[in-house]
Structure 1
Amino acid sequence: MPFRRGRDGRRRPRLSAKLLIASSVATVIGFSAICASVMLDMRRGEEELARQTLENLASGIDADISRNIELYDLSLRAVASNLETPETSNVSKEVRHLILFDHAASAKHFGAIQVFNADGNLTIDAASLDPQPENRRDEEYFTVHRDHPDVGLFISRPMLHRGAYAIVLSRRITGAGGQFLGVVVGSVRFSYFHDLFGRLNLTPGDTITVLRSDRTIIMRTPFDLDVIGKTLPDTAGWTRERLKEGSWFAGKGPIDTTPRLYVRRTGASPLHVVVGKPLASIFNLWRTEAIRIGAIMAALIVFVLSTALFLAREIGRRADAEDRLEEMATTDALTGLRNRRKFDAEIELEWRRAIRHGVPIALMMIDADHFKAYNDTYGHQAGDQVLVGIAICISDAVRRAGECAARFGGEEFAVLLPGTDAIEAFKTAEMIRAKVEQWCEGEIITTVSIGVASMKPVVGQQWGDLVEAADKALYAAKANGRNQSVLARVPQIALVA
């Protein structure tokens, strides 16, 4: 983080424009992630609610179909059982009808029960005492019972039966010795399914499919005669393994390309029910909410980022202004060097660092020779030019990072050299003195006297000791004739020209 210095010279953190932008972006990302998580939870909730609704619908349909098929199957069993009793063949047709069909189911959607002998010929018809000749030995339900004794209740493929589309329910008639005696047959007309599905409050796109165990379509709504009786193939996602009893599947079905949520229920009957609902209708409300919330979030994101960019720009401008003010506050207006205030802050900082790291720190005190006399003779403007020239010479010699050249006061300058021993500091002082001497030409003759001091400070020692040593060395240089550098020997301050 950038820093700025307070009035006491200490570095204080400054609010960064980049940090503000990064924080704003992180905040936007965080809130967006939370919003996305909430929206996904809402979507899962809508899907779960739709799945439960479809499960309840499928359970209700399955229960109704199972109950009616079970009732009709009881009638078929009763007829098959009564035909095996010897007394039935010895009574009149009227009595036999009463015995066989007295308890037979007779709902309007159920066809009349028929009995076919082992050759497939119609022998008994609940609708007539004298049935017309009829042979069904080539029908699927007949051959299945003839060739497979243990089939039990068999439900045929949808077919045209006795003038109406229906499914045929049949049971085998078995003799006392296990021989095949024929089949007892009944039918459930399509009108039953139309009536059942018509009582339901379905939305456009909803589907209800009644399947046989081999995945043959018995009935489907919306009704399409072209798909009735077809066996569903295994397609991607729609397989026997993925759409087991009580399971669900989301995607495209095998009949059309509309993505739906499919739920399967299987009861005790040989049929099972699959209910489907378009995913578009399931997530319609959620999608509306998602668009509304997304639009609000987008507007908030634009507002936050725009505000952050505006504030970042203002912070940048303020930082630049503060830097300029700090530069003005710490720079000598005439020479361009650091002023006394900046020098005090720097020497305090470098003194503590030298104590921590155990390294030397050097200081040069520089004074223009005979400056007062020169100023009185040539005027203040000429004197100012001399000070500027000396400052340029000092700046040319002091270039390393951490070194600080400052105007100490009047015609006096100070140069702080962190990490510099006495010998190196003395060489730098001589370089500055030589530059000033070479700079003088014509009638302008200006020289400088320099006091140099270097020490390794210890805890408890003050940087004023270094300034005092350098200042005493400066007085010694002036006393020895000026235009020279004097190195102070610390701590006895033994002076060497």
Structure 2
Amino acid sequence: MDTHGLLDTLRREIHRRRRMSARLMVVFSMITVLGFSAVCGSVLIDMRRGAEDLARQTLENLAASIDADIDRNLELYDSALRTVAGKLLLPELSAVDPTIARLILFDHSVAAPQFGAIRIYDQHGNLMRDSAVPNPAAENRADQPFFTAQHDDPNLGLFIGKPQQLDGAYSLIVSRRVTGQDGQFLGVVAGSIKFDYFQDLFKRLRLQPNDMIAVLAHDGTLITRAPLTPELIGKNMMFTPGVQKMFGRRSGWFAGAGTLDGVKRMFVWSDSTRPLVVLVAKSWDDIYAMWRREAIWIGIALLVLATFVAAVTVFFIHEIDRRAEAERRLEELATTDPLTGLTNRRKFDAAIDAEWRRAARQNSSIALLMIDADHFKAFNDSFGHQAGDQMLVGIAVCIADTVQRASDCAARFGGEEFAVLLPGLSVQAAVSVAETIRRKVEQWSNLEGGVTVSIGVASTKPTASQHWQDLVEVADRALYGAKELGRNRCVVGGRSEITLVA
């Protein structure tokens, strides 16, 4: 390969690498943005899980704390009920003064504002004694659940009834059976826990508007809740799937919607084996509030990064394209004859070298026309250099108008000489093209002072022993043959002879 062919190959390789650089930059930018997106997505998923775990742990701690407080007070009050029930079995109690007996029975009663008075009912449900007053009014509670439950089940233990109005306020009735030595039912010791206790307990907590706390009995009865909803107090909630899950496991959580407001929440309980079970809930919106803010900021940062990367990528690709276009124009200027606009000698040499090799590989023909303006020096001397230049431009226009295939190459070979490379054409087809060019120049020359051209035609199938310069030499000899035969004609050249064609 000659110097021109090597330079052309290197130039094509540089262009290929620059196109590849633009593609690689786009791919790299996409990988960068996708990589950051994957990392941010993973971080957001971990943060979301962390928010869920933190909320669950917080709710578990809250449920356990409320559980412990309620259980402690309930156990304290139950202890007082058992003490009273035990003292009722003392044989000496019936022999002492009623006032002294009252002091003996209730001396260990729990005196706290959240607890109601302890009352003793006989086996028929009649009120016998009241810790609040020495002489209680007569009443019968034989039809009340706290009494009938103890009467019917000797092994019931502590009974927790449904919330009800007692002494002008909502209270939770609790009771203990009084059983004789022989197992005989002797009556019931009953007391109450005021609802104010639960509300005061809940008020000490810092709850969000959508937070919820519910206290339930083991039969599914809603004892109380915060925020307080009077129409739900005492209702059985066992029909809800969440409550069923709560009594199916000792501790855990579930996702569900509020019965009244429909707010989606996380529900958590810590110990469903206690007499009263505490269920606490927080809305998912509150759980994810901080995570959502962080996600928005991360999303904005990622969007800014993606925009910046895209802008930088577009800028650099634009710069690469601009530089490639500038180099293409420079190359075009470097390979184009400035006067005629045809390919110059340097570009022509690279083109014929490449087409010669292709023809040799494919065993196809390659034709060449060598064209020279007749009497150019005399024309130039008579009409001046500007007229000579115009004459050369006119010849170039006639050539370019005839040679229009993408593989063809028309070039200014030097001075008033032109060359036309016609890959794949036989000698007959090449002569037809040459004649068309000659006639066009002749027709144009009638208006421009009688300018004509002589054309040498050569065509061959390259062999390993030949070089493209051999084709140029044969076409050049044919051109001189046309000159010697009187000009304004086409001549086909061969290695051994020159044949007149027209």
How big is each residue's C-alpha offset from its partner over 1:86-121, in whole Å with a ceiling of 9 and x where there is no partner?
A: 969977679987997788766664445444445333
Among candidates 422, 444, 454, match of residue 448 of structure 1: 454
Partner of 2:3: none
Q: What are the superposed Cα offsets for residues 278-302 of structure 1, whole Å, 9 maximum, x if unpaired?
A: 4454444444444444444454455
Contact preservation (8 Å) 2:177, 2:185: yes
% identity of equivalent residues:
51
Q: Is the 8 A contact 1:429 1:452 kept in 2?
A: no
Q: For the residues of structure 1 that align with 2:323 and 2:428, how far apart are their CA atoms?
A: 44
Q: Of Structure 1 and Structure 2, which has the larger fraction of its residues in helix?
A: 2
- Residues 324-333 or 217-226, more deviating: 217-226
Structure 2 residue corresponding to 1:262, chosen from 262, 267, 270: 267
Match for residue 402 of structure 2? 397
**Letter paired with 2:429:** E
1:166 — aligned with what?
A: 171
Change (3 A) 1:251 1:158: same
- Aligned twin of 2:4: none
Change (3 A) 1:145 1:367: farther
Structure 1 runs not aligned, ≥5 long: none
Query: Which amino acid counterpart does residue 160 of structure 1 have in structure 2?
Result: Q
What is the one-letter code of the residue matched to 1:210?
V
1:375 is the counterpart of 2:380: yes
Determine whether 1:190 maps to 2:195. Answer: yes
**Deviation of residue 372 (structure 1)?**
2.9
Matches of 1:405 and 1:313 in 2, distance apart? Answer: 33
Q: 1:62 aligns with which of 67, 70, 81?
A: 67
Match of 1:52 in 2: 57
Supply the AA of the counterpart residue of 1:406.
Answer: A
- With normalisation by structure 2, the TM-score equals 0.78
The change in CA–CA distance for 1:158 and 1:455 in structure 2 (over 3 A counts) is same
Match of 1:207 in 2: 212
Distance (whole Å) between structure 1 residues aligned to residue 79 and residue 325 of structure 2: 96
| CA gap 1:242/1:131 in 2 versus in 1, 3 angstroms | closer
Distance 2:177 2:361 in 1: 106
Task: For residue 446 of structure 1, report the CA deviation from its aligned partner.
Answer: 0.8
Which residue number in structure 1 is paired with residue 335 of structure 2?
330
How far residue 156 of structure 1 moved from its aligned partner, in angstroms, is 1.5
Q: Name the SS for the 2:141 alignment partner.
A: coil
1:213–1:432 distance in 2 versus 1, CA, 3 Å: farther
2:366 equivalent to 1:364? no
- Offset from partner CA, 1:56-80 (integer Å, 9 cap, x none): 1112222333344345446656766
Matches within 5 A, 1:229-244: 229-232=234-237, 240-241=244-245
Query: Partner of 2:162: helix, strand, or coil?
Result: coil
Q: Specify whether residues 329 and 94 from structure 1 end up closer, same or farther in structure 2 by C-alpha distance, changes over 3 A only.
A: same
3-state SS of 1:157 partner: strand
What amino acid does structure 1 have at the position aligned with 2:456? I
Q: Which amino acid aligns with 2:51?
A: E
- Cα deviation, residue 403, structure 1: 1.6
Q: One-letter code of the match for 2:460? A: S
Where 2:380 maps in the other structure, the secondary structure is: helix
Contact 2:214–2:223 (CA<8 Å) still a contact in 1?
A: yes
Is 1:408 aligned with 2:413? yes
User: In the TM superposition, what is the alpha-carbon distance from 1:51 to its structure 2 partner?
Assistant: 1.8
How big is the shift at 1:444?
A: 0.9
Instruction: Decide whether the 8 Å contact of 1:159 with 1:167 is kept in 2.
Output: yes
Contact 2:356 2:462 in 1 (8 A): no
**How does 1:218-237 map onto structure 2 within 5 Å?**
218-223=223-228, 225=230, 227-232=232-237
Structure 2: gaps of 5 or more residues: 1-6
Secondary structure (helix, strand or coil) at the match of 1:338 reads coil
Greater CA drift, 435-444 or 411-420: 435-444
Q: How many residues align?
A: 488
